């Protein structure tokens, strides 16, 4: 099958609105958590999140166009524009036939949830007359970001949305990988976006006992693996990757950031919201991705763990890692300690971290974690406090979603 490489990346995140700024803050160990500014949180159990800051969509689209797009689509537009520029692609120079070889698979878990909330508030606050915006449906539906990206750049290849909760954007990347390997496209834009810091999302996750309520100390609230963790910290933003057939990338002289060599999806088939206590889905995803890459567990240098800072979730993943890796000293870290949990976009920004890890030979740390949970299996190499600079050839990126969804991607340092 065809080799697939990463030639472009773009990021709109709570830690910065470019890949470089995002990466610098990851290595600096900064927390993006801050008080929520999007709505009045005085009656909510949680009043903080990891919001995107200083985002200006007018840098990417005309002011008149903004009303057409929910914030999750705006984030998608910005991140993909960055990735296309990073890849050195100019689609205007491609003829129509070539653009049939370029597709988009874009993920989200919640789509235009703020649009949905706002329109229903207006309806319920009125006299019952259905006065809805003509943009309501196209702003809200989950597939619209993928469609907008293709329309914006006149791309005629495979185009759809993946929705698998917090595994959504990793699922999109794996699906794009498979599309290129099977020869159904030459270039794919893949990633995900989320803009779910809303009253309904925060209230709903609070009711599910999923969010941290450490309102007194929000910057230390996301603490994967720590015995005092009390839930995840919500984040928002987008991550975009350009996946390309190696032959195509070499022919046009593209800069190659890394190679994608494996991707696997599985299911816990266990519980609506909880992960399997024995890490069943994690074991399947990691094992299948490693097998697909034609390597063994001992070749993996680093695992960017899903690590949401939730009690059951953190432990089940580490149990799964222990089953796959045994006593091998593979490095493990949870970068959601810095970014918060971007839900459907988490896998995309963590794929960017994984790519930069193999490209720059550095393993980001888990911040905020002080006292490791005693339930964690012994012998695991969890990186705490500061990044570790060492040779990194292979990185696994784990993502898991409500409903038991599992997606694991495997990135490799590019070698000709």
* DSSP-based three-state secondary structure for 146: helix
What are the residues whose beta carbons fall under 8 Å from the beta carbon of 217, sequence distance 6 or more? none
Q: What's the CA gap between 370 and 35, in Å, rounded?
A: 23
Phi, psi of 86 (to 5 degrees): -60, -35
> Mind spelling out the 3-state secondary structure of 202-217?
HHHHHHCCCECCCCCC
What are the residues whose beta carbons fall under 8 Å from the beta carbon of 252, sequence distance 6 or more? 88
* DSSP-based three-state secondary structure for 339: helix
Contact 238, 194 (CB under 8 A): yes
Q: What's the CA gap between 220 and 392, in Å, rounded?
A: 28
Q: What is the set of active-site residues?
A: 166
Q: Is 54 left (phi over 0), alpha (psi -120 to 50) or beta?
A: left
Where are any strands of DSSP class E within 195-310? 237-245, 258-267, 302-304
What residues pair up with 102 in beta bridges, in sequence order?
187
What residues pair up with 235 in beta bridges, in sequence order?
50
């Amino acid at each position: 099958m065809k080799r697939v490489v990463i030639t472009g990346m773009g990021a709109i995140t709570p830690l910065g609105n470019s890949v470089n700024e995002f990466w610098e803050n990851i290595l600096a160990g900064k927390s993006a958590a801050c008080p929520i500014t999007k709505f009045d949180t005085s009656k909510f159990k949680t009043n903080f999140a990891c919001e995107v800051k200083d985002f200006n969509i007018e840098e990417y689209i005309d002011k008149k166009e903004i009303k057409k797009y929910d914030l999750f689509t705006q984030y998608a537009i910005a991140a993909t524009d960055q990735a296309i520029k990073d890849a050195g692609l100019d689609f205007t120079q491609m003829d129509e036939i070539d653009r049939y070889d370029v597709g988009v698979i874009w993920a989200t878990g919640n789509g235009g949830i703020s649009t949905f909330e706002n329109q229903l508030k207006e309806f319920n606050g009125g006299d019952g007359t259905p006065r809805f915006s003509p943009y309501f449906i196209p702003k809200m539906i989950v597939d619209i970001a993928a469609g907008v990206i293709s329309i914006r750049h006149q791309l005629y290849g495979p185009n759809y949305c993946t929705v698998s909760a917090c595994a959504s954007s990793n699922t999109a990347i794996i699906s794009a990988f498979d599309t290129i390997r099977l020869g159904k496209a030459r270039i794919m834009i893949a990633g995900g976006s989320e803009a779910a810091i809303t009253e309904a999302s925060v209230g709903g996750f609070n009711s599910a006992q999923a969010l941290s309520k450490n309102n007194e100390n929000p910057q230390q609230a996301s603490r994967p693996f720590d015995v005092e963790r009390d839930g995840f910290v919500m984040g928002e933003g987008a991550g975009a990757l350009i996946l390309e057939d190696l032959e195509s990338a070499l022919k046009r002289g593209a800069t190659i950031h890394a190679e994608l060599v494996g991707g696997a999806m599985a299911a816990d088939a266990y519980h609506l919201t909880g992960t399997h206590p024995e890490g069943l889905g994690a074991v399947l995803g990691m094992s299948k991705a490693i097998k697909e890459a034609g390597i063994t567990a001992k070749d993996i240098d680093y695992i960017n763990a899903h690590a949401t800072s939730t009690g059951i979730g953190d432990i089940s993943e580490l149990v799964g890692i222990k089953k796959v890796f045994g006593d091998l000293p593979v490095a493990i870290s949870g970068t959601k300690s810095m970014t918060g949990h971007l839900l459907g976009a988490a896998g995309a920004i963590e794929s960017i971290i994984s790519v930069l890890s193999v490209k720059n030979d550095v393993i980001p740390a888990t911040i905020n974690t002080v006292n490791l949970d005693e339930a964690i299996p012994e012998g695991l190499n969890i990186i705490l406090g500061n990044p570790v600079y060492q040779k990194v050839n292979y990185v696994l990126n784990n993502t898991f979603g409500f409903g038991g969804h599992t997606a694991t991607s495997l990135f490799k340092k590019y070698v000709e």
